[in-house]
Amino acid sequence: MHQNYIFTGFGHAAGKYKITNPDLEFATKSNYLKGFREDKILSSKNYLKLKEQYPELTPFEYFASYKMGFTTRHHVTPFPPGEKYNVKPETSLDLAVKAVDMALKDAGIHPEKIDAWFFSTVSPHEKAPGIAATIKCFFTNYYNYSPTMTVASGCSGFMLNLERALDYMKCNPDIKNIVVGHTETMSSFLWNLTHYVPFVTFGDAAAAIVVSRQEGNKKEGILEIKNLQDMKMIGFVGVDKEWNLYMTDGVIKERAVENIASISTEILQKSKWSAEDTDLVVPHQTGNAILYDSVEKLNIPLSKLYQEVQKNYGNVSGTSIPMSLSFLHYEKRLKAGMKILSATAGVGGTFGAFSYIVPEQTENKNPYNISKDLEGKIALVTGSTGGLGMETALALAKRGCSLILQYNSNDQKAEQLKEKLEKYSVKISVIKADFSSEEQVQELIASCLILPDKIDFLVHTAAISGGLARATDVSDAHLKKVEQVNHFAPVEITKRLKEKIKSVILYTGSVAEDGQFSGSSSYVESKKGLHGFAASFAYEAMSSGLRSIYYMPGIISGGMAEELDEKAISTVKMNIMQDEDVSLEEAAERVAKSLYIPKVLKVRDSYEGALLVRRDGYLV
């Protein structure tokens, strides 16, 4: 039997702003980008010949697409960079999390089954910790101790980490699955540049691959891999301390072609392959000038050279090889037995290559199952018949969490929710308690205190609006009721049950705290009061081993936003820079994840002392 190291899951993500050659051509004609010599192209025999076939072909399009090999690229910000837009761009972290999520689901491997996380980038979202450690935080629970490794490398980042991952697996027989990936926002290096070549060349993207150890009757997967460094490339390509890209094209081309050809020849020899045996070359997508000369040196025909990522997404640094493999996988072009050669050369003089035989697909892959993530856990959810409360209960039940559900008065909704939850085969207790009644609040507390087991999660979603924008009732009795339900009842429950709670207290705040609606003062003041309590109580809770989270949703479709008019909604969205609607289901999923996973995509985190404030839908 052979110990094989195969790719079992693939994922990729790219910046959402597509930038075309005509966009860049317009920028050169507008003198935003400089350096393009149209007169030289107009005198080119090759251009004139091709223009006979394509009369609409412009000199810029010819040079960018036919000579360089790029037609579109995707950035995380609109073009041109450096402009102030009413958007918060995705980061290399955001792209990486999307790619990893896609790869894990494709592999059918639960994140808790990943034994190590290896990622690389030269455009991290922050200097420390390493991006691999932060990526892992979006997928595993607080008690997962699998190691992470971050490599600060560009073009060769994926290749370097892939070799390290194999070394790690070979040294640790119990290791079965490792996530290896690369992420880059190359556009972040272009803000102070005006030369057109980098803009034609670079794009923003992330890709991840799950590498798994599997036994097989024949040798498949990765056969050989090797990385080296060419000191002659130092100083000719990189990013300076001001975060600006620099590169000397001629030197880069000369050294890259030589290095790709030499390391590829060595890998082919070790794999006992000839150029003819190689079915596909999947290189780092640097552009035609380097890649055409490299395969020519290897005597491999251009028909075997994969360049589709280069053409459609640009040079995305170390992302290009795993992204190429991901596209080939999802397009079902990776056929069993296919022999693939991958090679790279780039920043820092690093270069490397690996050989890969596409394995037979003998195992059935299914999306990983989250139904046991919270098995054995208990959550008390207040306000369970409200929109967010119902969806949160469902999200927790999907994960195997037993539930204690408080509701105020709507018996019909409570019964409907119970019926929906029964299919998840979790334990459910339903308690009717009107939070405007201090007596009923105390009865709820007493019921929880006599439970034989501790409650893992206390999730406060109970709230009444107080009329919000319409404010039809502003009587003293009504104002007192709003304060009691939204503030005093959750505070009393939290304080009295502190010793009964085992893990997390989560409070639900409101976007109204940041952008008050007209006529909503009672609601806003009650939520601000709860927020203030949560911040001060978080230290006391922490001393008992509890984490405290204050979850503030933006405008949620299907939630309290239904009580607001379009003008109020538009104003609030503008104030918090919310550019995408958040559904109740999405918000509930993020609440559920917040209880046991350190980080959640599409939320903005900040700390108020020991209290984690999590804003959903905000871009500020």
pLDDT of residue 561: 62
Backbone angles phi, psi at 547, to 5 degrees: -95, 145
> To 5 degrees, how large is the angle CA 349–CA 353–CA 357?
165
| 11-15, 239-243, 393-397, range with the lowest pLDDT | 239-243
Residue 490, preceding bond cis, omega within 30 degrees? no
Q: Tell me, what DSSP letter sits at residue 516?
A: P
Whole-number Å distance between alpha carbons of 163 and 424: 42
Residue 100 near residue 135 (C-beta atoms within 8 A): yes
Q: Average of pLDDT values for 400-408?
A: 97
Question: If you average pLDDT over residues 261-275, what whole number do you get?
Answer: 96
Comparing 164-168, 221-225, 573-577, the range with the smallest average pLDDT is 573-577
Average pLDDT over residues 43-49: 93
Highest mean pLDDT among 219-223, 360-364, 518-522: 219-223
Chain CA centroid to CA 347, Å: 25
Q: Give the amino acid at 232.
A: K
Point out which residues pair with 281 in neighbouring strands. 305, 341
Is the pLDDT confidence value at 619 over 90? no
Query: For residue 154, what are the contacts with CB-CB under 8 A and spacing of at least 6?
Result: 122, 184, 317, 318, 346, 347, 348
Give me the chain's average pLDDT, please: 91
User: Helix (H, G, I), strand (E, B), or coil: what is residue 179?
Assistant: strand
Q: What is the mean pLDDT of residues 24-30?
A: 94
Concatenating the DSSP letter of every residue in 225-283 gives EEEEE-GGGTTTEEE-TTS-EEE-HHHHHHHHHHHHHHHHHHHHHHHT--TTT--EE--
Choose among 256, 268, 232, 285: nearest CA to 353.
Answer: 268
Phi, psi for residue 183 in degrees, rounded to 5: -140, 145
Q: Please tell me the predicted confidence (pLDDT) of residue 107.
A: 96
Strands ordered across the beta sheet of 603-608? 428-432, 402-407, 378-382, 455-460, 501-508, 547-553, 611-616, 603-608
Q: Looking at residue 469, what is its pLDDT?
A: 46
Q: At what angle do helices 584-594 and 387-398 cross, to 10 degrees?
A: 50
Domain ranges in the chain with CATH number 3.40.47.10: 2-16+66-357
Q: What is the DSSP string of 564-604?
A: S-HHHHHHHHHHHT--S-EEHHHHHHHHHHHTTSS--TTEE
Residue 475 has pLDDT above 80, yes or no: no
Rounded Cα distance, 87 and 573, in Å: 12
Structure confidence at residue 257 as a pLDDT band (50, 70, 90): very high
Token reading at 578? 């919310």
* Nearest alpha-carbon partner for 351 in 237, 229, 262, 261: 229
23 by DSSP, 3-state: which? helix
Q: At what angle do helices 521-543 and 476-483 cross, to 10 degrees?
A: 30
Identify the CA nearest to 15 among candidates 103, 123, 151.
123
Instruction: Please provide the size of the chain in residues.
Output: 620
DSSP 3-state of 12: strand
Q: What is the dihedral of CA 209, 215, 218, 223, to 10 degrees?
A: 40
Average pLDDT, stretch 168-186? Answer: 97
DSSP character at residue 486: I
First to last CA, the chain: 55
What 3-state class would DSSP assign to 103? helix
Distance CA 13, CA 94 (A): 9
How sure is the predictor about 349, in pLDDT bands with cuts at 50, 70 and 90? confident
Looking at domain 2-16+66-357, its CATH superfamily turns out to be Thiolase/Chalcone synthase (3.40.47.10)
pLDDT value at 515 more than 70: no
Q: Specify whether the backbone of 210 is left (phi greater than 0), alpha (psi in -120 to 50) or beta.
A: beta
- The yes-or-no verdict on residue 83 having pLDDT over 60 is no
- Are residues 180 and 8 in contact, defined by beta-carbon separation less than 8 angstroms? no
pLDDT band at 563 (very low <50, low <70, confident <90, very high): low
Nearest to 513 by CA among 576, 585, 567: 576
Residue 574 has pLDDT above 60, yes or no: yes
Mean pLDDT over 380-386 rounds to: 96
Whole-number Å distance between alpha carbons of 507 and 608: 14
- CATH for the 378-616 domain, from 3.30.365.10, 3.40.50.720, 3.40.50.300, 3.20.20.80: 3.40.50.720
Maximum Cα–Cα distance across the chain: 91
Total Cβ atoms within 10 A of residue 62: 21
Positions of CATH 3.40.50.720 in the chain: 378-616
- Which of 334, 69, 290, 99 lies closest to 204, judged by CA? 99
Stretch 570-586: mean pLDDT, rounded?
Answer: 78
DSSP E strands: which ranges in 360-494? 378-382, 402-407, 428-432, 455-460
Q: What is the mean pLDDT of residues 241-256?
A: 79
Instruction: Copy the structure tokens of residue 53.
Output: 């076939």
| Each residue's pLDDT tens digit, 297-314 | 999 999 999 999 999 999
76: number of CA atoms within 13 Å, CB side? 25
Residue with tokens 């808790």: 112
Residue 84: pLDDT band by 50, 70, 90 thresholds? Answer: low
**For residue 365, what pLDDT is reported?**
72
Residue 565: band (very low, low, confident or very high) from pLDDT cuts 50, 70, 90: low
CA 568 – CA 563 distance, rounded (Å): 10
